[in-house]
Chains A and B, each alone.
Chain A
């Protein structure tokens, strides 16, 4: 199975999405990321019971903050799939990529260019 997904997505591996903190998500945007998707196990299938549920809450918190400051909450998204669903991963990656292309670059970068 040779699946393709957009090449401009950088994978950051974590032991469980429960490890992903709100600060990690915000720092990614602060450093100029255009979008972040958190891909966790199916809800109810977390090896650590509630890691992916915690991640979803944090993604929602990040969405609210990004909306408030005008960066756009749609730039961060939570997806759930099982480890055997490579096809779905490629589909989600493409979906996220398309969404970010539509939204355009992180507004922070435009602001920094103006300041410079």
Chain B
């Protein structure tokens, strides 16, 4: 039976408060119960790192990992570092299917949020 994990790939920050809103968003994903496993992994600064997060997904029984970069831009992290980390995960866990989604910044939902933030000045 397949068991799919949604793995959120996050940059990480030395400031403890920097991840609070991301964790709130991930909690909203979790409570929708669309993915039996929802896991966060950090590129830098915070734990678990992405390699560990991949291992945690597999430990929780993931047969397929769908990774989504929580990034706004196609920087070198999105274009190079994250695919390399997933490939390394695939070598450690050859029985697991690894898929990579678009980075967050590509989503049209963000246009709607930007529009709402912009309009927030009109009706104070």
A binds B: no
- Give A contacts to B, CB under 8 Å: none
